[in-house]
Amino acid sequence: MISSISDGNRLLDRARALDASGEPEAALDILRQAAATGAAEAMAELGLWYVTGHGGKPAPVEGAHLVFQAAGNGHILAKLLAATLTAGGIGTPRDWSAAGHWLIEAACARDPRACLQLGLLLPKSNEWRPMIQGLLAHAALADLSAAHIALAVQYLDHDTADMNQLGLGLLVQALRLGNPVARDLLEKYRGQSWCPADLHSLDTVSDTLPVLERLDPDLLQWPHEQPLPPFKTLSDNPRAISMPKLLTPVLCAHAAALGRPFLAPATVHDAEAGEIQDPTRTNAFANFYPLEADAVLQSIDWRLMQAGNSVSERPTCETGDILSMLYYQPGQRYRPHFDFFDPEFPAHRPHLQQNGQRRVTVLVSLNTGYTGGDTHFPHAKADIDSNEKTMQGNRGLSWRGAVGGSLIFVNVDENDRPDKASLHEGLSPSQGEKWILSKWLRAGKS
Ligand SMILES: O=C(O)CCC(=O)C(=O)O
Ligand SMILES: [Fe+2]
């Protein structure tokens, strides 16, 4: 009879090996036996498989339950996942306090990803500054480039030359780690000298552990709780608006760093074949599934939902497609397409019935270090001039945002019927890399 945790861990190894050899269903059976022994690692993994539907049908509620159990048993990855699930309302009601609680627990166990998230979420006041720096320094030591950038922004806020140099040094490190936002921030300080940042000399999280243990999760300031910035209408037909500064550069850096390891060739939805690669879309993308996302990213996602809903005259969308990051190298593009599904097209109807119409699209620029690469609407009748678009009269609308700037457009008319004027494309950059977030908001099930 199988009972001990070590038996559970052995079974977990077997399940992983089976999964790696391309037998996820068989692996799921073994993983269930592993979790039944009470081994926290196996419970966390089974929970994740249930949430994502790996090896079987998705069962998010059962999955979340297992993750919470493993988290309660002290498993650190499970604590992080519990934070993501509660923040995302995945398999459990959305609960930001609970998400904060799990992050604090994981940070007390010195998990760098939890430290980074808390460092991004604590109030930016003098009172919290030493703790924020300790948390971020700890995360930066684990090469989490958003931590370098968040720390750099703090140092660059100071007036002293040595702090400035240290800040620039951190940006250089973030650039080496491949974070595109570092290039944008460094651009502002071009020609200034910098010195390498010795992360070990900064305060670390250990000094702040006693305070961290007593931290009230409700103190945390989530991105979606901040007021939405004002927006400008770019076109009425299709309805398109720009909302500058929807995300801070630090949040953009965080999203880019999270998505980067998961970039893969982009796919399009085919009515018969499902998600397929297609010449329509030659760029790369990363979907933020629960393990690829974190609680801060869930809050960013929720902020994008709120921004998208704020411009639509239709009832509020409560769901959306999974948040994704798009990445273009020179020559790569997303050819003219519609984001809506066409109900005239019989093959689209079951999908529409099940998931609802893609009513609104929200795009957020994560960087600006590229030329060309605009989002272009060839049929838009743009009538307002702005710095973010080129006026082309009836010949269309082109948009590119500053770091954290967003473009929001509506894909349907007032009766939720496809709006053909929403045809758009992601042009290819001629130089540099383009990084953006893309979120499709869904009307309720039709
Ligand atoms: O990358 C772009 O500019 C366009 C992206 C897009 O069309 C989409 O995500 O639906
Ligand atoms: Fe699109």
Instruction: Say which residue, 223 or 388, is predicted with more confidence.
Output: 223
* Residue of 409, 307, 286 lying closest to 358 (CA atoms): 409
Which of 138, 71, 123 has the alpha carbon at shortest distance from 99? Answer: 71
pLDDT digits (tens, 9 = 90+) for 11-44: 999 999 999 999 999 999 999 999 999 999 999 9
Identify the nearest ligand to the CA of 439 by its number.
Answer: 1
Does any ligand 1 atom lie closer than 6 A to the CB of residue 333? Answer: no
- Site to probe by mutation for ligand 1, drawn from 363, 364, 377 as the one with most ligand atoms within 8 Å of Cβ, is 363
**In this structure, how many other beta carbons lie within 10 angstroms of the beta carbon of residue 394?**
10
Give me the mean pLDDT over the 90-113 stretch: 97
Q: 339 C-alpha vs ligand 2 centroid, how far in Å?
A: 5
Q: Residue 387: its pLDDT value, please? A: 43
pLDDT band at 203 (very low <50, low <70, confident <90, very high): low
Residue nearest to atom 1 of ligand 1 (CA): 426
Cα 117 to middle of ligand 1, angstroms: 28
Give the mean model confidence (pLDDT) for residues 197-219: 80
Q: Chain-wide mean pLDDT for the chain?
A: 90
Give exposure, 69-91, as e/b (b: 16+ Cβ within 10 Å): bbbeeebbbbbbbbbbbbbbbbb
Distance 439 CA to ligand 1 centre (A): 9
According to CATH, what is the number of the domain 5-109?
1.25.40.10
Angle at 294 between CA 288 and CA 295, to 5 degrees: 125
In one-letter notation, the amino acid at residue 77 is L
404-446 residue pLDDT tens:
999 999 999 988 899 999 999 999 999 999 999 999 999 875 4
pLDDT at residue 384 is higher than 60: no
Atom in ligand 1 nearest the alpha carbon of residue 324: 9
pTM of the model: 0.93
- For range 288-293, the mean pLDDT: 89
Say yes or no: CB of residue 424 within 6 Å of ligand 1: yes
C-alpha 247/C-alpha 249 separation (Å) is 7
Ligand sitting nearest the alpha carbon of 401 = 1
What pLDDT score does 89 carry?
Answer: 95
pLDDT tens sequence across 142-200: 999 999 999 999 888 776 877 788 899 999 999 999 999 999 999 988 777 777 777 77
Band the pLDDT of 392: cuts 50, 70, 90: very low
93 C-alpha to ligand 2 centroid (Å): 30
- What residue ranges do the domains of the chain occupy? 5-109, 114-221, 224-442
Average of per-residue pLDDT across 83-105: 97
How far is the centre of ligand 1, averaged over its atoms, from the C-alpha of 69 (Å)?
39
Q: How confident is the model at residue 3 (pLDDT cuts 50, 70, 90)?
A: low
Q: Hey, whose CA ends up nearest to atom 9 of ligand 1?
A: 438
* Percentage of residues of the chain with pLDDT beyond 70: 94
Question: For domain 224-442, is the CATH number 2.60.120.620?
Answer: yes
Q: Is the pLDDT of residue 389 over 50?
A: no
Q: What pLDDT shows up at residue 446? A: 42
Closest ligand 1 atom number to CA of residue 376 = 3
